[in-house]
Amino acid sequence: MICPNCSTENAETNQFCVKCGYGLHNNTRFVYSKSSKERGIALILEILPGLFGFYGIGWIYSGKTMTGVILLGVGLLLIFIYGVSAIFTAGSACLCAIPTNMIAVLLSGIFLNSYTKEHTELFGV
């Protein structure tokens, strides 16, 4: 069977053209759609930079730009506060800063994971 759209030779049993996806029997077009964003990449972009205080990058990737920018600003402010307090406390402020940072990364990752699972139109199933 010859495709009426692109003139490619196709087997008689094919429902769609192998080259252009045109429907050979019902004149429809096969469209493969893949979600535009990957859940794993969003989580990696949130967790890895978050370990160094740069929260929100995964949220920005996920399309929640305002949430991501706010988290990024808070993270940069915390880096500054932790740095100043580490200088004045001879480093003992790290005993508070490091666990606080790990909790913030964990919470942000959990909330981002639930957001990506709720929005299957952006991230797939």
Over the stretch 39-58, which tens digit does the pLDDT of each residue have? 999 999 999 999 999 999 99
The CA radius of gyration of the chain, in Å to the nearest whole number, is: 24
- Same domain for 68 and 103, yes or no, is yes
- Judge whether 67 and 55 are in contact, CB under 8 Å: no
Task: Enter the tokens of residue 8.
Answer: 């490619």
Higher pLDDT, 33 or 111: 111
pLDDT recorded at residue 29: 60
Q: Based on the domain organization, do 24 and 46 belong to the same domain?
A: no
Q: Residue 120 half-sphere exposure, CB side, CA atoms within 13 Å?
A: 1
Range(s) of the domain holding residue 27: 1-32
The verdict on 52 and 78 lying in the same domain is yes
Q: How many Å separate Cα 42 from the centre of its chain?
A: 3
Q: How many domains does the chain have?
A: 2
Residues 26 and 52 placed together within one structural domain of the fold: no
Q: How much of the chain exceeds pLDDT 90, in percent? A: 55
Pair 109, 62 in one domain: yes
Using the predicted structure, report yes or no on whether residue 22 has a pLDDT greater than 90.
no
Three-state DSSP class for residue 35: coil
